[in-house]
Amino acid sequence: MKINLEQVTDRLAGHGEGPVWDAATGRLHWVDMLAGDMLSLDPGDGAVTRTPVSSVVCAIRPRRAGGLVLAVERGFALLDPDAEKPRILPELWPANSIRMNDGGCDPRGRFYCGSMATDDRPGAGKLYRLDADLSVTVVLDEVSISNGLAWSRDGGTAYYVDSGTQRIDLFTVDAAGELVDRRPFVTVPAEVGTPDGLCLDAEGGVWVALWDGGAVHRYGPDGSLDAVIPLPVARPTACAFGGPDLADLYITTSRPSADDPAPSGALFRARPGVTGFADWEFAG
């Protein structure tokens, strides 16, 4: 099955990441991570606004009470609906060669984000959880490149990528909402690319961006590869369903260098024939 792909924006981001649909505003947000800016698309007229956040901004999710929660270089931040600038929460570690990378919210309204070493050394990162009371818990240690994290529609399973493993893993979500019983779901051959950000569709399919693979793959609930979206860039980074009907798959990309002739750093959109479901929102 051929899935049509369109380029939605110019090459706006150096390292585009973390797309998320904000139903309250009818906009798609994503980050120009290393520039420290949030980008927001109005699909109606194609206008994009750029909001400075911090030195680095890594991931975004809507809040139930309005506004956004964000992961920044060494912790978290909150952006109120009418505020021009976010409130940066206390840093979780001192300045060093570790930064946040990617994350998502669980059905209980808790925001998770994982870290990585800027020199990609293995095992230097952790997966953190920000609760509604703004307390922070370490959920996983010895993570290499913490990337995609999403929960199934029924909330009983979480899908997680530590890119250093070349895998998408599954967790069972226990009665207390904790992630337990980690096990492999899909192993991506290195020659195909490295699994990065992911999202789920309403039929239980898992869509994952392949860094240095120039494609987004869909894996069915049984782990079988059943759809491929080729991109005209080498480094897609993440994907998310958006639009009023959640039928558009938005794909962020990274620019390897300023003189890369491909449209890397642009935002792309596909209509894959399935819909997503609403992202869980942060309760704080």
Residues annotated as part of the active site = 196
Secondary structure (DSSP) of the chain: ----EEE-S-S--SBEEEEEEETTTTEEEEEEGGGTEEEEE-TTT--EEEEE-SS-EEEEEEBTTSSEEEEETTEEEEE-TT-SS-EEPPPSS-SSSEEEEEEEE-TTS-EEEEEEETT--TT-EEEEEE-TTS-EEEEEEEESBEEEEEE-TTSSEEEEEEGGGTEEEEEEE-TTS-EEEEEEEEE--GGG-EEEEEEE-TTS-EEEEEETTTEEEEE-TTS-EEEEEE-SSS-EEEEEEESTTS-EEEEEEB-SSTT--S-TT--EEE--SS---PPP-B--
